[in-house]
Structure 1
Amino acid sequence: MTQEFLTTVFGWMTVPNIAVLLFSTLMIVTMQDWIVGMHGRMFHMERAEVQRAHFQYLANYKILTLTFCLMPWLALKLAS
């Protein structure tokens, strides 16, 4: 595999991951009451627990996307 190929792969891998992150964030922010109510009933959790779980999900997804998609792409771009 060439450096150019890897740069392209990591670049395109970053795009859908950031799109999922943005979509999830927008849905949780705009439809918070409905989503919290639905997840609270599904998993028998209190409102505060569901909100904490959503925040943890978004934080973990962001860290993983930055670490395994964006940073390798950026490193490869800087190296070329």
Structure 2
Amino acid sequence: MNNVIQLSEIFGWMSLINIGLLSIASLALVWMKDRISAIHGRLFGVEPAALKVLYINYLAHYKVLIFMFNVVPYIVLKVLT
């Protein structure tokens, strides 16, 4: 039973950290959209219009992965304890 509690705590902290990183990335893209787009456009040779789609896809995939691999196991472990 102790291992389940420890795993639950680990998944809880992983969820919190990853949701925090997702929030920071989202806010950075909202507040500094032009500056970030200019840097990424020069680095990778991508047009600003295409970068907007890439940013949305990145955030959406990251969010789904956080829920699949962090939040859902945390909820399952909390139900078990």
TM-score (norm 1): 0.94
Structure 1 residue 31 displacement after superposition: 0.6
Partner of 1:52: 53
Q: Hey, which bits of structure 1, 4+ residues long, moved more than 2 A? A: none
Give the TM-score of the pair, scaled to structure 2.
0.93
Residue 15 of structure 1: aligned partner: 16
Identity of aligned residues (%): 36
Gaps of 5+ in 1: none
Give the residue type in structure 2 aligned to 1:15.
L
Q: How many residues align?
A: 80
**Runs of at least 5 residues in structure 2 that lack an aligned partner in the other structure:** none
Deviation sequence 1:7-52 (CA, Å, 0-9, x none): 0110011111011000000000011111111111110011111111
Q: Give the counterpart letter for 2:37 in structure 1.
A: V
Is the partner of 2:46 in helix, strand or coil?
coil
Cα-Cα RMSD: 1.1
Amino acid at match of 1:13: M
Which residue pairs with 1:66 in the alignment? 67
Q: Could you report, residue by residue, the CA deviation over 1:57-80 in whole angstroms, capped at 9, with x for unpaired residues?
A: 101110100110011001111222
